[in-house]
Amino acid sequence: MASVESTPVESMPRRELNNAERRIAGSVDAVSPVEGEQVDRSVLRHTLGVDLDPELLSLALTHRSYAYEHGGTPHNERLEFLGDSILGQAVTVKLYRDNPELSEGELAKRRASVVSTIALAEVAERIELGPHILLGRGEILTGGARKPSILADTVEAIIGAVYLGCGPDVATDLVLRLVGPLLADSERFGAAMDPKTSLQEAAARQNQPAPHYEVTSEGPDHDRRFTAVVTVGRVARGEGTGSSKKHAEMAAALDAWSQLTGFVKPERTR
Active-site amino acid positions:
84, 156
Q: At residue 201, what is the residue type?
A: E
Pairing between β-strand 212-218 and β-strand 225-232 as defined by DSSP bridges? antiparallel
Are 166 and 52 spatial neighbours (Cβ–Cβ below 8 Å)?
yes
| H runs (alpha helix) in the chain | 19-27, 41-48, 54-60, 64-69, 77-98, 104-114, 117-126, 137-141, 148-166, 168-183, 188-193, 195-205, 245-261
Are 86 and 163 spatial neighbours (Cβ–Cβ below 8 Å)?
yes
DSSP 167: -
